[in-house]
């Protein structure tokens, strides 16, 4: 029995080109079928790292097109973070409101936590009603909703009533099922491995 002749570089290249042409045709057809353009409600949740980081990536992308962004941070205090330093450079396009007082285990005062979240939500509602704002980042809102610091029905109603072209991204663990149902895009960050487990502390440029 004779073995098949080895493929030449030319035949391999031709097969690859044919395969990619077929794939491109499928991709082009799929893209052509997507005609809807609308403001998206996006949720970043799950136990893994990267929820807020991804949201700030969206903020940077939006600023890159000269469009306005409002960031409202729930729970988190007024930390000195790299993302705030970066976005403050675009103060003509970005409003950054760090209105939390720290995580709930730090304040240990439910009434104080609720008051801080209500203050942050008042700022968020103003942004959600402004058609000039292209993206609203509601960082750690999921935590405020998890602890019932804000009425979920009111939050969902504000999302539904926002300007049609406005994007919203909500971050934080344990997103409520109702929010997941209302969202257009939900991404769950899955924890596979974390350096904290090996005693590595939070570091500039990675955690803040």
102 sits in the region (left: phi over 0; alpha: psi -120 to 50; else beta) called left
Closest to 41 measured CA to CA, from 157, 150, 147, 166: 166
CA-based torsion, 161, 164, 169, 174: positive or negative: positive
Looking up tokens 């997941």 gives 180
Position 178 in a domain: yes
Domain count, the chain: 1
Residue 100 has pLDDT above 70, yes or no: yes
Span 94-106, average pLDDT: 75
Position 73 in a domain: yes
Position 145 in a domain: yes
Position 99 in a domain: yes
CATH code, domain with 114: 3.40.50.300
Residue 108 has pLDDT above 80, yes or no: no
Residue 109 has pLDDT above 90, yes or no: no
Lowest-pLDDT choice from 149-163, 165-179, 186-200: 186-200
Span 62-79, average pLDDT: 90
Residue pLDDT, tens place only, 151-161: 999 999 999 99
Helix (H, G, I), strand (E, B) or coil at 165: coil
Nearest-10 Cα torsion for 116, 119, 120, 124:
160
Position 15 in a domain: no
Position 206 in a domain: no
Position 204 in a domain: no
Position 74 in a domain: yes
Domain encompassing residue 123: 39-198
Span 157-176, average pLDDT: 98
Span 168-191, average pLDDT: 97
């Amino acid at each position: 029995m004779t073995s098949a002749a080895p493929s030449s570089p030319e035949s391999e290249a031709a097969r690859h080109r044919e395969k990619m042409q077929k794939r491109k045709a499928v991709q082009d057809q799929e893209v052509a079928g997507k005609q809807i353009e609308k403001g998206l409600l996006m949720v970043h949740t799950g136990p893994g790292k990267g929820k807020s980081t991804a949201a700030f990536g969206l903020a940077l992308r939006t600023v890159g097109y000269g469009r306005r962004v409002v960031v409202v941070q729930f729970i988190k205090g007024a930390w000195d973070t790299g993302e705030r330093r970066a976005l403050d450079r675009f103060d003509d396009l970005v409003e950054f409101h760090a209105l939390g007082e720290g995580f709930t285990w730090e304040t240990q005062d439910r009434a104080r936590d609720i008051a801080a979240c209500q203050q942050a939500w008042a700022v968020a509602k103003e942004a959600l009603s402004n058609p000039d704002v292209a993206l609203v980042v509601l960082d750690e809102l999921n935590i405020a909703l998890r602890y019932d610091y804000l009425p979920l029905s009111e939050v969902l109603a504000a999302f539904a009533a926002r300007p049609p072209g406005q994007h919203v991204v909500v971050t934080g663990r344990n997103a409520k099922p109702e929010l997941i149902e209302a969202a257009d895009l939900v991404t769950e960050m899955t924890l596979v491995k974390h350096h904290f487990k090996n005693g590595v502390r939070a570091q500039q440029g990675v955690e803040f």
